[in-house]
Amino acid sequence: MDFENKKATRQSYGEAIASLGEKNEDIVVLDADLSGATKTNIFAKNFPDRFFDMGIAEQDMMATAAGFATCGKIPYASTFAVFATGRVYDQIRNSICYPNLNVKICATHCGITVGEDGATHQMLEDINLMRGLPNMIVISPSDDIQSKWAVEEASKINGPVYIRFGRAATPIIYDKNIKFEFGKGIQFGDGKDATVFATGIMVAEALKAKEELKKENINIRVIDIHTIKPIDKEIIIKSAKETKKLISVEEHSIIGGLGTAISEVLTDEYPVKLIRMGMKDCFGRSGNAMKLLEYYGLTSKEIIENVLKS
């Protein structure tokens, strides 16, 4: 696999929503003064009548999106994840999820790979916040191809969807002809030494670890969990039964994210140990994105260490 062919998933979002806007006239896009960064500026340029810059007013943006949805529009509301979930939690809860309105929240700048802007802008609790809301669907795509699929797939779901995108350029994993299935994890290999469940940009790191370990004759499987809610119980239980060790890895807090979601399935159905890799109940800090992943132990190196650890 070529890990050097990279693209930021926020760019993929920008391209995908512009292309979806072409096909579906019900799509409207709202942004909160960050269209250059979230890449909704492509849509804005192509469809100025269906693009609404709401200024630096995220709460207003989310509830306005709800109003659009009551009139049959399919609003995609975008800003940085820290504002798109934390700042507007009440608007999402009461005006979007409770009435189950057809609003898509596309959040960019998730996780520590925001980089130099530091902790205030590095959202590490968004999956936790969104996963807890009734009616909300949570998708965390791992690369360019999957991000584009998620943007279109969300438009086919009648109800609220949260999609998580990153700022930094990260490897393109999938072939453009791949077919993804909503709610179904994607398994790489059938190694029995360990399963690494990964989401978002950690999928590429897990795949790097898989290739390295293979050289040592250690065979692991990697499972890309792109749909975090509803989660693919079947693939989790099957791998729990078939492999010696389970690891989860996410660019998110270990509280309430992918690791927690998998733990819930295991607790209910097949209680075994899970090693949860992620941000360990802490805020991030400023720095180069890739250096931050090393600093917080979120690279293939630490995944390998966890596989090898007895």
Partner 1 sequence: MLDSDKKIEIKNLEDISKNIRKNIVEMVYSASSGHPGGSLSITDILTVLYFHEMNVNINNPKDEDRDRLVLSKGHCSPALYAVLAEKGYFPKEDLKTFRKIDSYLQGHPDMKKIPGVDMSSGSLGQGLSVSNGMALAGKLDKKDYRVYCVMGDGEIEEGEVWEAAMTSSHYKLDNLCVIVDNNNLQIDGKINEVMSPYPIDKKFESFGFNVININGHDFNEIITALETAKKIKEKPTVIIAKTIKGKGISYMENEASWHGKAPNEEQYNIAIEELK
Q: How far is CA 162 from the centre of its chain?
A: 9
Instruction: Provide Rg for the chain, Cα atoms.
Output: 19
How many angstroms separate the Cα of 27 from the Cα of each of 17, 98, 100, 117, 151? 9, 21, 17, 31, 11
- Quick check: 57 binds partner 1 (CB under 8 A)? yes
Stretch of residues binding partner 1 (CB under 8 A), selected from 33-41, 49-57, 106-114, 172-180:
49-57
Candidates 237, 250, 259, 260; CA nearest to 204 is 250
| CA-to-CA separations, 44 to 54, 195, 282, in angstroms, rounded | 13, 42, 36
Among 20, 29, 34, 65, the residue binding partner 1 under the rule CB under 8 A is 65
Q: Which residues lie across from 220 on neighbouring strands?
A: 194
CA atoms within a 13 Å half-sphere pointing along the CA-CB vector of 198: 27
Distance from C-alpha of 53 to C-alpha of 292, rounded to nearest angstrom: 32
Residue 92 binding partner 1, by CB under 8 A: no
Q: How far is the CB of 100 from partner 1 (least distance, A)?
A: 6
Q: Which range binds partner 1 by CB under 8 A, 47-55, 208-216, 272-280, 286-294?
A: 47-55
Q: Distance (Å, rounded) from C-alpha 112 to C-alpha 267?
A: 29
Which range touches partner 1 (CB under 8 A), out of 2-10, 45-53, 196-204, 296-304? 45-53
* 58 catalytic residue (yes or no): yes
Length of the chain: 310
- Choosing from 3, 46, 98, 187, the residue that interacts with partner 1 (CB under 8 A) is 98
91 touches partner 1 by CB under 8 A = yes
Among residues 36, 55, 86, 271, which is the contact residue for partner 1, using CB under 8 A? 55
Residue 50 in the binding site for partner 1 (CB under 8 A): yes
The residue assigned the tokens 């469940």 is 197
Contact stretch for partner 1 (CB under 8 A) within 94-102, 126-134, 215-223, 271-279: 94-102
Give the phi and the psi of residue 111 in degrees, each rounded to 5.
75, -175
| CB of 20 or CB of 139, closer to partner 1 | 20
Size of the site for partner 1 (CB under 8 A): 31
Q: Is 100 in the site for partner 1 (CB under 8 A)?
A: yes
- Tell which one of 4, 23, 48, 71 touches partner 1 (CB under 8 A): 71
3-class SS of residue 275: strand
Catalog residues that contact partner 1 under the rule CB under 8 A: 28, 49-50, 52, 54-55, 57, 59-73, 75, 90-91, 93-95, 98-100
